[in-house]
Structure 1
């Protein structure tokens, strides 16, 4: 799914900025390039369970009618936020600012990525939420320091993406049934 999100964002950015092609979008670790030509760097720096999408499709595992654990329904997707750092590179600071402004203007057109704009691997779940910000999930200075690159202007883009769980057995099969009263244990009440 991550390459499909990268492909989708690259398509949007290459069609809406002065970049001539997707070849001018770099997906590797952001670094200082000695021979700088106008380019965007699109780097995935964080993957975490989604805060944008409420977890739907969960069953509650209970002991004596008290919630114990929520487990995903079989075949229901789990949503993750993929966070990208978008920085611009050019031989002048003005060129970088122009390119970053174009990228920001293009991405602000979307509150969701419509299904028809998504790479084929992302289709089938409807439009995907996208969030564009100048604030990172972590301290910005610490992020750039960890990347080993001097602090620079950048956009932080987060896309919520479904990952389908395909377990070979149902979640209930992972739990052993225990007879109430044996060894002082209580039985798990599995949902129907």
Structure 2
């Protein structure tokens, strides 16, 4: 799942207007050592946090049907996971970095979810979209400055891109075939006597 999302984000950046086609795309932690080794304009998509979106957890079952609409199996509802990427631009000049960040912002603002053409393999198992948000306020238990301090690097402008992906739990329970025959009953079959006795009023008690 993570690899498919990495590939989708890389493809979106590569296809975006305002971003050179030959720009480097990296997924490295932007540490001081990494920055010192960089020698070409680079967009870094650093995956720094993975956590379940517990507010979207469901405990029901989803049904799998054949071409006739008959239920053939049931599976537990998927779990949703939020993947947070720290997106940074690296060039020789700050103003060039700002222009590149602007292009990246416009790139991701075009989408509310990963486009269907990039939803493949594991991402496609549930048939549900992978939502995309950008530059939202961080959770109360995490600040962007904390991310930079943990990396040992200097704070610099960045974009926070969060992908919320539904993940199948790889558990399926087969169901039995539908019932095609049985015993039918009519109202006439429910009586125990003749038609006259069924409609005769009951005697009153004394």
TM-score (norm: length of structure 1): 0.71
Q: Deviations over 1:98-150 (max 9, x none)?
A: 11110000000011223223344422423321110164342121110001110
Partner of 1:43: helix, strand, or coil?
strand
CA distance in 1, matches of 2:90, 2:26: 10
1:36 aligns with 2:39: yes
Which shifted more, 89-98 or 125-134?
A: 125-134
Mapping 1:34-183, distance limit 5 Å: 34-50=37-53, 54-58=56-60, 74-124=75-125, 125-133=127-135, 135-137=137-139, 138-167=142-171
Query: Residue 204 of structure 2 aligns with which residue?
Result: none
Contact kept in structure 2, 1:115 and 1:126, CA below 8 Å = no
Higher alpha-carbon Rg: 2
Higher relative contact order (CA 8 A, sep 6+): 1
More strand by proportion, 1 or 2?
A: 1
Q: Which runs of 5+ in 1 are unaligned?
A: 60-72, 170-192
Tell me the matched-pair count.
155
TM-score (norm: length of structure 2): 0.66
Contact kept in structure 1, 2:89 and 2:97, CA below 8 Å = yes
Deviation at 1:19, TM superposition (A): 2.9
**Residue 114 and residue 126 in structure 1: after superposition, are their counterparts in 2 closer, same or farther (change >3 A)?**
farther
